[in-house]
A and B are shown apart, each in its own frame.
Chain A
Amino acid sequence: MSFLAPIFLVGLAAVAVPILVHLIQRERRTVVEFPSLMFVRRIPYESSERRRIHNWPLLLLRLAALAAIVTAFARPFATVDPVAAAVTGDREVVVLLDRSASMGYGDRWSRAQAEARRVIDGLDTGDRATLVLFDDTPEETVRATADHGTLRAAVDNAAVSSGATRFAPALRLAQSRLATSGGARQDVFLITDFQRSGWARQEDVQWPEGATFTPIAIADEATESVAATGVVLEREAFSGAERVTVTAALANRGNSAVSRLDVALEIDGRVVERRDVDIAPESTTAVSFEPVTVSESNVQAVIRAGTDKLPQDNAFYFVLSPSRPVSVLVVQGDETPAAAGRFLSTALDLGREPAFRSEIVSSARLTPAQLEGRSVVVVNDAALGSAAAALLTSFVERGGGLFLVLGDRSPAGADWPLLPGALSAPVDRLAVRGGSFGYVDYSHPALDEFRDPRNGSLTGMRFLRYRGLRPTADDRVLARFDDGAAAMVERRVGSGRVIAFASTLDGTWNDVPRHAMYLPLVHEVTAYLAQYEVPAAWQTVGRMFDVSSPVSALVRDGQLGADGVRGVRGVVLTPSGRQLTIGDGGAESFALAEQGFYSVRLAGTGSRRPYVVAVNLSPEESDLTAMTPDAFLATMSGSGRSVATTREIEPLTPAEMEKRQSVWWFLLVAGLIALLAEAALSNRLSRRVVPSPTAR
């Protein structure tokens, strides 16, 4: 506190006046004429009485009035530093509390909660605080409240999640909260272990001017951390069944070696095999288990690798299911030699991921039953009757794939709607020793594998003859011959896909079957037509899960009717035991927020095993390497200080500070009010005094 005109403080001596008035003047003012002091003189007079204050309220009012008025003339003002002077008033506080899986290491979470409570306890009455719990996504648990009890309760009820650490979304949420609050004083507290993997340097966070950012580090030296980071499943057929060899990947992120680590493989809750593993510090290793026979789908399997201070990453969850081969029906004309389809069926039978199961059938004997359970039909240079064409049209519209291999027998001028484009007479390129692919659309999923030249080139194939094919505007040309003629054309029909190949695959019109790229080409195109997706044995926390995946799988397996795609209903049981409803107003996709197994049970699947989704921690969450708060601040704002103030504030002169605060005005008003109160009170007291007797 300073004064602009301290000389006026001399006037404070005037406060002695009311005291003297109370002690002296008041007694002298009242004179009582009394008949005789005969008795009065006999009573000893206590001089101390003279010094007693007789009316404290009156005296205090007078003192307050004088002091306020004198102080007002001295023009007081508070001298604070420019930053504090610029930000007076209640604070807007955002508490960012990291609840990612890494906070479960040791006692980090309890310490983080204690720090959050300490911040909340430090708030003043008028301060408003927002509590944000964050992992990979921020959650505004309590929004801008001055109710500190609610904040404390929210901190107490918070728990460590399975999510990965991502600072940027939480910081941006805090940034937007402060930007919309408009408060004069803004504070952000970040309580976290500063896991390095959660911060990307390119993240751009701009704090409001004057905001204070205070990092509170919870991290400690993570001396032990072993994590199961993944599994590799190798499948092999054995005695008509499929056996899977599980190889677990383990990482030791601690700085000391781990010996005889107990690694167990659990299947359906039972330990089927244990291995002891030694892992050097800051290194990884793999451990393989004996092959296990997988006879049914959705078998729950877990790799457990010892125990340490972060138990969440010691387990790795995955699902074992027998591989489902893509069923392919090769349709040939009656007059087509059986050898014509040999290249094709052989190529399909060699497929592993996915595996293909092919069957050759005559176009004349094509029945609906033969299409049941098929994923792809290959019409290998055959003419189709109207009945067969109708069957295939229906098949494609329901989601099936059709591969049209065009040759001599393919009918020209057919009005078959599945044919992508108009077919014309064969083009003979013998004179120029054959043509080749002049253009390949590598952006197409079926040809994406061939984008990398190291995977081989399709342009080495030689085509001596091919059918002319003029695609329509709605069709997509996947490849053209070097003369510009369409070589591969795709058409979408209903839910299905049709690809026409303008030459044969039996080695008569080209050398494609003998080319190294033949197998991958057939596999990729067939898998694309089958809409094949590599079944994921596990997912990562934070992903969204679409229910259509298990539904499609069940439909393909014949466990669910084709109508199941529409109007799907069911229940999802989360690892923590919560139930989520699918369909009937519930969501058709849900976030995988917990580590463990999600069981998806759909209506109409009976007592079969539920569809299971295994969910694991994000691999980087196991990396407990931490940043220092200073390094974090430096990368965030370019400043290593805990106070991130970007605004340049000019220091104020005393006169400016006094003018801004204008305390004198309030003091003057207070003094006048005190004087008015004093007048009212003293008048009232005067009326109460007994009138003095008079002598006559």
Chain B
Amino acid sequence: MDTHLVPGARFVDPKVLARVKDLELLAKTVVDGVINGLHRAPHFGASVDFAEHRGYVAGDDIRRVDWRLYARTDRYFIKQYEADTNANLAILLDVSKSMAFASQGVSKLEYAKFLAACLAYLSHRQRDRVGITTFDEAIVTHVPPSAKHFNVLLHTLDRAVAEKPGRLLANLDLLAERFRRRSIVVLISDLYEEPDRLIDAIKPYSFGGNDVVVFHVLDPAEIAFPYDEPSRFVDLESGDEVPVVPERFAEQYRQMVQEHIAALRARCTDARIDYALIETSTPLDQALFDYLGHRERLMRVR
């Protein structure tokens, strides 16, 4: 197995991961590796802060009885913490045709699938409810978050194909209504939309107390634009063709992409939305590792 030696972690080349057909195995491999590399086990979307008391019911662990409150009230109450509240992990996966682009071994969609599987596995491991919604020009599949839907989620991921053009903003608007319960909403997409309009579409998710995380998945070629031959560029989604002479074009393109990424990052930060740019050439576990480490530090600040 091709690995990158980084202190504390072993990162796996996405092209190698792509050979692992079993998404669960893949997710387990990656997540276990990531967890081993972290200083402490991550609690993705969980909190150990005190939340509330509830009455003791038969079957509750007597170690969690608040004995101080029993002394004052002579009734049994169980202390409930944030972590004890099982969260919903809702993954919004863009399966529009643009996600099929691959300049190297792994397409954006494949990479996104791996990422979604890993996140779902991590959440499922801490008994959170996991669900997934895939969409292109319309909503393709909707799996509501459930503790029992992990396998369904993996199955959904396995079947997801990019074959239709996408309507990201419209779908986000449509789906926003469905997440009334507090959830962790993870959007995985290549985000070919105007940053302002995109943030406007995502913001409603955070209003309901949802924790919104945006994974911006891009192929390296979309950033570096390594073309040097005059060519006709065809839009994967619309089929439009544009002649391009990269000699003069490339530099402008790279600058616009960087401006786009910077704008997205800034808007997300303003809206307290986690934003992570991931290139498909980056080892998945490394991306996950970096993101989780970053989120952990961020949680402490919050």
Contact = CB atoms under 8 A, between A and B. Distances in A.
Q: Interface centre among A35, A45, A689, A692, by most B CB within 10 Å?
A: A35
A54 B230 contact: yes
A81 interface: no
Interface residues on A, range: 20 to 34
B240 interface: yes
Given A36-B98, A50-B243, A689 B233 contact: no
B248 A40 contact: no
A82 B117 CA distance: 92
B81 interface: no
Given A49-B248, A696-B100, A32 B192 contact: no
A54 B228 CA distance: 11
Interface string B254-265: 001100100000
A46 to B, nearest CB: 7
Given A49-B230, A690-B228, A695-B236, A35 B101 contact: yes
Contacts of A30: 229-232
B76 to A, nearest CB: 58
Contacts of A689: 229
A39 B248 contact: no
A42 interface: yes
B253 A33 contact: no
A45 B244 contact: yes
Nearest to A31: B232
Interface stretch (B37-45, B49-57, B84-92, B218-226): B218-226
Contact of B234 (A34, A38, A41, A696): A34
Contact of A37 (B109, B231, B233, B260): B233
B192 A36 contact: yes
A34 B233 contact: yes
A33 to B, nearest CB: 5
A49 to B, nearest CB: 4
Contacts of A444: none
A30 B231 CA distance: 5
Given A35-B192, A690-B227, A28 B232 contact: yes
A27 B226 contact: no
Given A35-B219, A35-B222, A40 B232 contact: no
Nearest to B245: A49
Nearest to A691: B103
B236 A39 contact: no
B242 A39 contact: no
A143 interface: no
A543 interface: no
A42 B100 CA distance: 23
A11 B227 CA distance: 37
Contacts of B244: 32, 40, 45
Contacts of B256: 39, 42-43
A180 interface: no
Contacts of B216: none
Q: Interface centre among B99, B192, B233, B238, by most A CB within 10 Å?
A: B233
Contacts, number: 108
Contacts of B235: 34-37
Nearest to B190: A35
Contact of A31 (B108, B219, B234): B234
Nearest to B253: A39
A33 B260 CA distance: 21
Given A42-B256, A695-B102, A696-B102, A35 B236 contact: yes
A40 B98 contact: no
Interface in B256-299: 256-257, 260
A41 to B, nearest CB: 6
A240 interface: no
A690 B102 contact: no
A40 B245 contact: no
Contacts of B73: none
A526 B253 CA distance: 126
A34 B110 CA distance: 17
B198 to A, nearest CB: 12
A653 interface: no
A32 B231 contact: yes
Nearest to B107: A696
A67 to B, nearest CB: 26
B173 interface: no
Contacts of A38: 192
A43 B249 contact: yes
Interface in A1-56: 26-28, 30-43, 45-46, 49-50, 54
A49 B102 CA distance: 28
A388 B182 CA distance: 171
Contact of A36 (B190, B243, B245, B249): B190
A32 B227 contact: yes
A54 B230 CA distance: 9
B203 interface: no
A690 B104 CA distance: 12
A696 B226 CA distance: 19
A635 to B, nearest CB: 77
Pairs A-B, 3 closest by C-beta atoms: A35-B98, A30-B231, A36-B192
19 contacts: A27-B231, A32-B244, A34-B236, A35-B192, A35-B237, A37-B240, A40-B242, A43-B256, A45-B245, A46-B248, A49-B248, A50-B245, A690-B226, A692-B231, A693-B221, A695-B101, A695-B162, A696-B107, A696-B110
